[in-house]
Structure 1
Amino acid sequence: MRRPADMWPFRPTVRYARQLAEALRAETVGGILMLLATVAALVWANVADDSYEALRTTTFGPEALHLHLTLSQWAQNGLLTIFFFIAGVEVKEEFVHGELSNLRSAALPILASVAGMIVPVLIYLAVSWGAPGAGRGWAIPTATDIAFALAVLAVTASSMPAALRAFLLTSAVVDDLGAITVIAVFFTEHLNLLALLAGAVIIALYGLLQARRVRGLWIYLPLALVAWYLIEISGVHATVAGVALGLMTRVHSDSCEESSPGERADHYIRPVSAGFVVPVFAFLSAGVVLGVEGLGTILSDRVVLGVIAGLVVGKFLGVFGGAWLAVRLGLARLSEELHWRDMAAVSILAGIGFTVSLLIGNLAYGDDPERVNMVTTGVLVASLTASVLATILLRVRVRHRLNAQDDV
C-alpha cells in the first residue's frame, strides 16, 4: 500500500515545489521575473494610473511600533533586506572562497568597481550641474544590479569563459557593498543612536552564535527580525541590517557538515529573493506614466539625463577604464582567457542599475513623487540601453570565439 506522501497531490506538489525553487536559483529565471514585474507595473500605471498609485500607497502595520508603512515602503525597507542579506552572504563568500580571498586576483574587479562608482558620479554631476535638486541624486548611477546583469550574461553569452562571469560577479558584489555604505552614510537623516547600538549588539550576537556553531532557525530568525526592527527605527536604512547579517553568516563548513550556514541560507532564501522579493519591489517601484509628451519632458530633464549618462557612459568608462589602468600600472592582471573586447562588453553590462538604483532614487527624492517617477524612468531607460548594447557586443564576442575555434 502506498503512503499518502507518495500519492497525489502530495508527491507532485513537493516535486514541483523543489523544481520551482531550483529554477528560481538560476540567474535567467530571476531576471525574467524581474523584467515581467517591471512590464506589468508599467502597463498598469499607464492604463489605470490611479489604481496603481493607490496600491503603492496602501498603508498597514502597527502604528505603535512606527511600522505603519505603505506597500512601497515595506518593499523597500522590508523585502529588500532579504535581497541584501543574500548580497551580504555573497560578499562573505567572495572574501573567504572567491576572487576577493586573493589580493592579486581581487585587485582587478575591486579597482574596476571603485572606478565604476566614482566615474558615474562625475558624469552625472557634469550633466546635471545647476539643475534643481541635482545634488540629491548623485549616488543613483553608482549601482550595478547583480541579478539582472548576471541574467543578461547567462542568456546571451553562457559560452564565454568563466573568468568573465567571475569578474562581473565580484565587481558587482564590491559595488553592492559600496552602495549599501552610501545608503548608510548619506541617506540617514535622523539617527536614534540607542536603537542603532542595540541593533549592532544583536547583529554581533548573531555573529558570535555563528562562530560558536550554534544551530537552529528558531534562534537566528528572531534575532534577524529584532536586528531589522532596531536598524529600521534607528534612522539607518533597514537594508543595512540585511548586509550586516549576511556578512556575519558563516560560509566555512566544518568536517561534520555537508554545507555551511551561508550555503544553506543561500540555497533556501535565494529562490524567495529571486521569485518574490525583487519582482515585488520592481513591480511597486517601476510603475511610471510614459505618455509621449511626458516622456519627452522627462528625457529632457538634466537630472534624468545625468542618471542615464552616469549608468550607460559612466559605468562603462569607470569599469573598463579602471580595469585597463589597473593592468597598465601593474596593480592587477587580466585573465589569459579574456580579451579587452570581452571586458568592454561586460563593462557596459555594469550599467544595469535597476534594483539598487531605484532604491537610491526613492531615498534621494522620496518627498517628491514627481521627481521619483522621472528618475525611475531614467533608470529604466539606462538599464534597457545597457542591456541591449551589452547583448549585441556579447553576441559578437561569442560568434568571434566560435569562428576562432572553427579556424583552429
Structure 2
Amino acid sequence: MRQHLSMLREFSIPLLAGVVVTLVWANLAPEGYHHFNHDRIFGLFSVHFIVNDLFMVLFFGIAAAEITQSCLPGGDLHPVRKAINPLLATVGGVVGPVLVYLVLNEVIGEPSLRRGWGIPTATDIALAWLAASLVFGRRHPAISFLLLLAIADDAIGLAIIALFYPDPTVPAAPQWLVLVLIGMGAAALLRRQNVQNYWPYIILGGSLSWAGLFMAHLHPALALVFIVPFLPHPPRETKHVFEEDIHDRSPLAGFEHDWKVTVDFGLFMFGLANSGVQLTSIGHATWLVLASLVIGKTGGIFLMGLIGQRLGYPLPSKIGTKELALVGLIAGVGLTVALFVAGEAFTDPVIQGAAKMGALLSGGCALIAIIAGRLMRVRRMG
C-alpha cells in the first residue's frame, strides 16, 4: 500500500485526477459544478475558499521549506556562486514569459488582459520533476538544475502574487500587515527560546500572518511563507531538493515530512476547485498564457543559461545546449501556480476561464519535451 501511495504522489496522480474530473464535470454540468465550488457550506465557507485560502497555505508553506533548506550551507542554492547559472536561468524564465505576454498582448490582445502578465512566471515543480525524470532519468544533473530553477521562480511567483495581485474588488489595507510582522516576531521569539516543535510557530505565527494578509486584502495563502524560515533547522543541509533525510529531526524537516503527503493528495481538491473551465473557454488570454510559457520560458532559460556560461558561471556537467533547451521547455509546465495566479488576476469569468485554459494546455510542454528528448537521443541517467 505504501508503494502504491508513493507512486501516486510521484506521478502527480491526485492533481491530474482533480483536473480531469473537473474538466468533465464543468463541461457536462457547469451549473452543478459552480454551486459545488462557490456555495457556502453551512453558510460559512465555500470549497473554493477552503482550498485556495486555507489548504494552499500548506502548499506554499512546503515550497517555503524547500527554499529555506536549499539556501542553507550544503543546500543546492548555497553558496551563491554554485547557484549563479540556475538563478540567471530563473531570471530568464521569469522575464522571458512576461515580455512575450506583454508584447503579444499589444499585437493580439487588449488592455484588459495586461493584468495577466504574472500567470506564466512560475513552474509546476511536481509535474516538471516528473517530465524531467522521464526525459533525463532520475540521476541526471539536469534534474537538480531544473528543480533549483523551479524553486527559485516559484519564490519569485510568491512575491508577484503578494505584491501585484491583491483582491481587485477591495482596496488594500496595508496597516494590517503589522499582524504579519507580529507573527514573524512571535516565530523569532519561539526560535530564540529554542522551541523544538513546529506547532507553536504554525499556530501562533501562522495565524497572525494569515489574519494580517487577509485583513490587508492580500492573499492569505502566503501566510506561512513568512513563518517557515524561522523554524529551527540543522546548521548544514545534507540532502538535495525533494529528498528526505530520515536523521533530520528538526522542526523544519518535521513540518515538511508531516504535511507533504497531505499536500500531495490535497492537490486533487486544488485541481477540483481551480480547473473548472469549459472547453469552449478559449480566447486571446489562452494563447497569451500558452505562448508565454512555451516560448518565453524556453527562450528565456536557454538564453540566460548560455549567458551565464559566457560570464564564467558554467552549466553543470553533462548539460549542453540540447539539455538546456529541454529544461527550458519542461519549465514551461505552469499548471498549479499558473492556475492559482489566473484566478487572482482576472475577475471576469470568461477571461479567467480562457487564461486557465492556457495554463492547462501548458501541460503539453511535458509531452513535447519527452518526444524531443527521444528524437535528440538525450542520454538518460538512472
The TM-score normalised by the length of structure 1 is: 0.83
- What letter matches 2:311 in structure 1? L
Match of 2:91 in 1: 114
Match of 2:16 in 1: 35
Deviation at 1:347, TM superposition (A): 0.9
Which of the numbers 347, 353, 361 marks the counterpart of 1:373?
Answer: 353
1:394 aligns with 2:373: yes
Deviation at 1:23, TM superposition (A): 5.0
Which of the numbers 164, 178, 183 marks the counterpart of 1:186?
Answer: 164
- Report if the CA contact (8 A) 2:136-2:142 is conserved: no
Which of the numbers 340, 343, 347 marks the counterpart of 1:362?
Answer: 343
Q: What are the superposed Cα offsets for residues 101-137 of structure 1, whole Å, 9 maximum, x if unpaired? A: 1122110111111111011011011111151412111
CA shift in 2, pair 1:23/1:160, >3 Å: closer
> Alignment partner of 1:100: what SS?
coil
1:269 aligns with 2:259: yes
- Report if the CA contact (8 A) 1:157-1:395 is conserved: no
- What letter matches 1:361 in structure 2? A
Match of 1:11 in 2: none
Match of 1:259 in 2: 249
Deviation at 1:227, TM superposition (A): 2.5
Q: What are the superposed Cα offsets for residues 67-98 of structure 1, whole Å, 9 maximum, x if unpaired? A: x5432132111111110000000110110032
- What letter matches 1:157 in structure 2? F
- What letter matches 1:359 in structure 2? F
Match of 2:211 in 1: 229
CA–CA distance in structure 2, aligned partners of residues 251 and 392 of structure 1:
41
CA shift in 2, pair 1:305/1:23, >3 Å: closer
CA–CA distance in structure 1, aligned partners of residues 305 and 42 of structure 2:
46
1:73 aligns with 2:49: yes
- Report if the CA contact (8 A) 1:312-1:348 is conserved: yes
CA shift in 2, pair 1:21/1:184, >3 Å: same
- Report if the CA contact (8 A) 2:182-2:208 is conserved: no
CA–CA distance in structure 1, aligned partners of residues 55 and 179 of structure 2:
22
Match of 1:317 in 2: 299
Greater Cα offset, 104-113 or 214-223: 214-223
- Report if the CA contact (8 A) 2:183-2:209 is conserved: yes
Structure 2 unmatched ranges of 5 or more: 237-246
Instruction: Note the aligned Cα RMSD (angstroms).
Output: 2.4
Q: What are the superposed Cα offsets for residues 302-357 of structure 1, whole Å, 9 maximum, x if unpaired? A: 32211111001100011111111111122x11112322211111110000111111
1:165 aligns with 2:165: no
Which residues in structure 2 correspond to 1:185-334 (within 5 Å)?
A: 185-188=163-166, 190-223=171-204, 224-252=206-234, 258-276=248-266, 278-290=267-279, 294=280, 298=282, 301-330=283-312, 332-334=313-315
> Alignment partner of 1:144: what SS?
coil
Match of 2:113 in 1: 134
CA shift in 2, pair 1:394/1:213, >3 Å: farther
User: Matched residue pairs, number?
Assistant: 365
- Report if the CA contact (8 A) 1:38-1:282 is conserved: yes
Deviation at 1:250, TM superposition (A): 2.8
CA–CA distance in structure 2, aligned partners of residues 108 and 125 of structure 1:
26
CA–CA distance in structure 1, aligned partners of residues 47 and 359 of structure 2:
21
Match of 1:8 in 2: none
Deviation at 1:151, TM superposition (A): 2.1
CA–CA distance in structure 2, aligned partners of residues 312 and 346 of structure 1:
11
- Report if the CA contact (8 A) 1:127-1:302 is conserved: no
> Rg bigger for which structure?
1
CA shift in 2, pair 1:225/1:21, >3 Å: farther
Match of 1:342 in 2: 323
CA–CA distance in structure 2, aligned partners of residues 247 and 221 of structure 1:
11
CA shift in 2, pair 1:350/1:361, >3 Å: same
Structure 1 unmatched ranges of 5 or more: 1-15, 63-67
> Alignment partner of 2:379: what SS?
helix
CA–CA distance in structure 2, aligned partners of residues 118 and 177 of structure 1:
14
CA shift in 2, pair 1:157/1:335, >3 Å: closer
CA–CA distance in structure 1, aligned partners of residues 114 and 198 of structure 2:
43
Which residues in structure 2 correspond to 1:31-70 (within 5 Å)?
A: 31-60=12-41, 68-70=44-46
The TM-score normalised by the length of structure 2 is: 0.88
